Amino acid sequence: MSTSTPGAHSKLDLDPGVIAACRQAAKQIADQVSERIAGHTTVSVERGVTRLLGVDGADALEAPLPNVLVDHVHDRGGLGRGIAYWVGNAMIQTGRTPQQIAEAVSAGELDLCGLELAAEEAIRERVTEECGTRLREISGRFEERRAMRERLGDAPAPLRYVLTATGDVYEDVVHAKAVAEAGGDIVAVIRSTAQSLLDYVPYGPTTEGYGGTFATQANFRIMREAMDEWSEQHGRYVRLSSFCSGLCMSEIAVMGAWEGFDNMVNDALYGILYRDINIVRGLIDQRISRMINGYFGVVINTGEDNYLRTADALEAAPSVTASQFINHQLARASGVPDAQIALGDAFEIDIPVTNGLLYEWAQAQLTRELFPDCPVKYMPPTRHMDGNLFRTHAADTLFNLVTIATGQGVQTIGVPTEGIFTPHIHDRVLGLQNVDYVFNAARDLGEEVEFKPGGIIQTHAQRVLAGAQELLERIAQTGLLQAIEGATFGDVSRRVDDGRGIEGIVTTEDGYFNPVVELMHEASYA
């Protein structure tokens, strides 16, 4: 749902020339990023390849087999050829499956780099065939899921996005079903605090986690089966979302694809800015993870809303819009269509600001008009919540009003106890009831409203867009990596040659190949 379509009348009276200049600069920035990360892979990208070849499980020390396999080759200096090269050769030489190869390596029975090498063309053909089989299998599952959504019915936008965060996956199932009963459309299971810094994905179901539940394939499967069961029983499809970010972005994208997740928070800058993950590592992993999500039809959520947690919402508004332009281009470069790019935005102007509602409305309308085909993910006010439940509920009501009036695609619901503790089920139900009341009361408000020419809303939106243009053109001259070093986003600075996970970046050699990238790239141009 949107209140603007390509070529439609702009309620904000935006200058098409300024918009075109922003898109051009953002495209230039995205192209620079592609050039900067070319010729590199990461250990997590290669682990994602092993997972798409069917490798799963853990050894006796609970080390995931994808890590065991990739570390085995990396320690021997061979990862520059790509893990697929070595697995493909082992498949030819031993007749084993990728899973059996990983188990043999884990048991110390097989040295991949010590095997006789088959012809490179034969290796490519064998491992690409194996990867293609897996991709077709997952694609078939997604076709079945699309049919299920059509049969049960998808809710109209804005989709109500509700978080669960108990730490115990089985308790998350209880919360998720309660959220669905109360009208939630998307259940997002928050990850355990700082899982994004683990350079591996834990194996199996988990019942302990601080601030959230570990993202594991088993947990994904448990949640998916539970919500599918609920959806069938109640005749309404409920989507699932998780967090495809941090040091295991591409692996989590694969796990989510295997288990049929509908949405993924998929943004490198959050980890770069707020978890000190190396910039280059994050951008390489983001490129491949978004390619996987885009290929299978998963909607990605970007993280611009997080900048307003650390920077003033009014002052930082141009940087949010600039980042949306850049993120849009980076996602498109990974093959993600607009319908799957849920750009981030947030309602974060402090309540005492005079006419704050008008400024928020202007920003939300600006995002909708700039990206009419993207299901923008709109976030509630959280930064300035101080424990006053009544003020929070009032702020969330204004947030809900702007959401429906500007036709956002995905809305993370506001909860009265936000900022005090992890909300209980009944707190989320109150938030959903508030959403329902406002959405019903103001369903067609956006179609009825025009803005005063030269008024506060138009002027603010035009000022933010002009600031975004200036910022984008400056970044296009210096490059995104230098802009991040200069604290352009969220008032946080990170260095290119520092940060967590930098040791996991691998320079590729002649002959490197990644069958996942090649097959998905071919499909996008077919």
Alpha carbon of 356 to those of 380, 456, 458: distances in Å?
14, 10, 14
**What 3-state class would DSSP assign to 38?**
coil
Take residue 260 and report the two structure tokens written for it. 């049929």
**Annotation says 377 is catalytic:** yes
Distance CA 290, CA 308 (A): 24
Alpha carbon of 206 to those of 245, 260, 328: distances in Å?
19, 19, 35
**Annotation says 305 is catalytic:** yes
Distance CA 398, CA 421 (A): 22
Alpha carbon of 75 to those of 42, 112, 215, 352, 509: distances in Å?
14, 11, 27, 57, 16
Q: Which residues, in sequence order, are CB contacts of 283 under 8 Å at separation 6+?
A: 33, 36, 37, 268
Q: Which residues, in sequence order, are CB contacts of 393 under 8 Å at separation 6+?
A: 414, 416, 430, 434
Q: Are 101 and 87 in contact (CB under 8 A)?
A: yes
Q: Are 72 and 83 in contact (CB under 8 A)?
A: no
Distance CA 118, CA 93 (A): 8
Q: Are 262 and 299 in contact (CB under 8 A)?
A: yes
**Annotation says 359 is catalytic:** no
Q: Closest Cα partner for 320 from 293, 341, 346? A: 346
Amino acid identity of residue 93, one-letter, is: Q
Helix (DSSP H) and strand (DSSP E) numbers for the chain: 20, 11
Token look-up 């996942």 returns: 516
Per DSSP, helices labelled H in 235-381 are 249-259, 268-274, 279-296, 307-310, 317-333, 356-370
Rounded to 5°, angle at Cα 266 from 264 and 270: 130
- Catalytic residue (choose from 267, 305, 345, 396): 305
- Catalytic residue (choose from 237, 377, 378, 396): 377
DSSP 125-171: HHHHHHHHHHHHHHHHHHHHHHHHHHHH-PPPSSEEEEEE--S-HHH
Q: Closest Cα partner for 456 from 304, 314, 305? A: 314
User: Pairing between strand 186-189 and 239-243?
Assistant: parallel
H/E stretch holding 410 reads strand 410-412
- Catalytic residue (choose from 161, 200, 270, 378): 270
DSSP 172-192: HHHHHHHHHHTT-SEEEEPPP
| Length of the chain in terms of residues written | 526
DSSP state at residue 202 = -
Active site residues: 270, 305, 377
